[in-house]
Structure formats: C-alpha cells, structure tokens
Amino acid sequence: MIKNALLFLFAAAATAQPVPAGGLGPHCIMSGRGGVLSGIRIEFAAYAIPGGKWDAAYAGGGISAGGDTIHRSVVEAGGGAHFGYDLAFTGDAASGYQAVFRPLSAVDGVLLAAPPRFPPPQPVRDGDTIALDLMVSPDGTRRIVDYIRVSLHPLEPPAATTTAEPRDFTVDDGAVTYDASATSVWIDGKKQTGILGFTGKPGSTFWIAFPGHGRYILSLIPHEGLVKSGVVCDNVLFFQDGGDQYEVRFMSSVAGRGKAWNLYVIRDGGYETLTSDAVSAGIDRLENLLPGQ
C-alpha cells in the first residue's frame, strides 16, 4: 500500500489511456464509486500494470455498500473465485477519520480467494488517494492496483430542468455518460437515504438493483424485450414499474444538457444484490446485462 505522493499516483493513473491487450502501459480494467451512511464516499480505479494478459483475467466484480462498510470484489474469469476487501471508516469529523481494510465479507455460495495484504488503519483527509495492490505476480513484474480516492464531503445532484419533448436517441446524437461522482435515488418523489454502490465497465447501458426487487436495465436505444417506460432529461433518469416512479440523478447531463430522450426498460427479477441493505448500480454493455445472457 502506498500513501506518500498519493495524489500524484492517482492523477497519473486516472489520465492514462486504455491500452490494447498485450500493450506495455497501464490499463484500467474497472472503476466505480460507493459510500457509507456517514456520507464518506470513495472512487476506485483498478489498473493492470503493465497491461497485457492480466487485462482479461478478471470477468466481473465491482463495488457495493452496506451501513458503514464498502465491499470491493473482483471475480476471476471462467467463474473463478472472488477476492477483494471490505473498507470501513472510523472516527468523526471533529477527531478525524481512519480507513480500515478488512477481508472481503463472505457471500453465500461464492468461493473467496486469499485476500491481499492489508495495511493497518490509517488517517485520511478529504481528497486523499490510497493505492492498494490487489494481486502481484510471483516475480513482482505485474500488478493489479486499486487507486482509491476518498471524499469526506457529500455532493447533491441537481434536479432536471429541461422541458424538451423526448425522442429516440441515435448514435449520431453524441456520447452517453454517467457522472456518478454523486448519485441520488428517488422513489415516488421521496429521496432514498440508503447506500448506493456504483460500478463502471465499458459500455453505455445503465442498470440499478434494489434488494429483494431485482435489477432494472435501462437503455436509450430500443431493443427486443425492452419496453419504453421512461425518459432521460438532462442529468436524470425517470422510469416507472408496478405503479412506482423511480428517479436517478447524476452530477452532469447523461446525453446533453437541455435534451430529453425515450428510455427503454426491462426488469430482471432473478437478480440478487450482494447486500440486503444497499442499492447497487452501474454501467455495462447491454448484451452483458440482459437476463439469460
């Protein structure tokens, strides 16, 4: 674990461009965000250093949160073992906070590999970044590193303001982005006060899962099996299901400020969240998310 000159390390990793498999430079293989009830949030970016055969060695995982603990997992390709860590924060704003790393919590029916080596609890300040080695090759030449940036001050995403008429989105309408540096979820006009974990992978399809209610897959592009059941306005996704109205707010516009788009939805009722007290969300390719794929 590296704490000295951490801001430099994070900046270097965050600005590195993805490298094709077999390339020599660092390659970002996964990123995500999450928070705990105290309002502390983290952003992580996992890098294969250098890029190469390890880029495709891990098929999934991500981040989830519950209560005062963030759960960070990685899954080996081919249905292999999970490994990772739990991260909790102790202390308070007056006396200062400490980051505490622990072994990844067990998940029913999931094989857990040996955890990485954890450092002792250490003090953190707003904006600090921690570098944690998840995997190191026997000869020390290859690593998978999580760069973990800590934010002690919660942000509040704004409400949508556009009154534009929604229409179907096309590839010519620009990029789709989900700025989840802060995200809030509203159900039937009430802001949810629980925890949200966010995992970003290559793709532009958003999903969100509620404990005991499965997962909603949301696409701006029509697709067989998805029903037009919502809109995207500015930085907000609106959709409905079973008489409930859902709203997901991001920090910046999803597909253009002042624009509105139709939103296509499918519910995967068989999906189960890793924790029973937290909402999970993320982005991925649509074909990776559809039930039965």
Over 60: is that where the pLDDT of 14 sits? no
Tokens of 152: 């002690």
Closest to 257 measured CA to CA, from 138, 148, 144, 177? 177
Cβ contacts of 235-239, under 8 Å, gap ≥ 24: 235/157, 235/158, 235/160, 235/179, 236/157, 236/159, 236/160, 237/206, 237/263, 238/160, 238/263, 239/263, 239/265
Pick the more confident residue, 264 or 195: 264
> What are phi and psi for residue 10, nearest 5 degrees?
-65, -40
Calculate ∠ Cα 134-13-273, nearest 5°: 50
pLDDT tens profile 42-68: 888 888 887 656 556 665 777 877 677
Cα–Cα distance for residue pair 162/258, rounded to 1 Å = 5
Cα–Cα distance for residue pair 191/38, rounded to 1 Å = 16
* DSSP-based three-state secondary structure for 260: strand
pLDDT tens profile 84-122: 889 999 988 888 999 999 988 765 555 566 667 888 999
Residue 152: Cβ within 10 Å count: 17
Please, where are the H alpha helices in the chain? 6-15, 286-289
Cα–Cα distance for residue pair 62/32, rounded to 1 Å = 7
Q: What is the model's pLDDT at position 195?
A: 63
Strands (E), 77-121: 82-92, 96-103
Global model pTM greater than 0.85: no
pLDDT tens profile 239-251: 999 889 999 999 8
DSSP state of 106: P
- Give me the numbers of helices (H) and strands (E) for the chain, helices first please: 2, 19
pLDDT tens profile 163-212: 999 999 998 898 898 887 778 899 999 988 766 778 888 888 999 998 88
Pick the more confident residue, 251 or 16: 251
Residue-range domain boundaries for the chain: 6-151, 171-289
Closest to 247 measured CA to CA, from 271, 225, 228, 263? 263
**CB 51, CB 22: distance < 8 Å:** yes
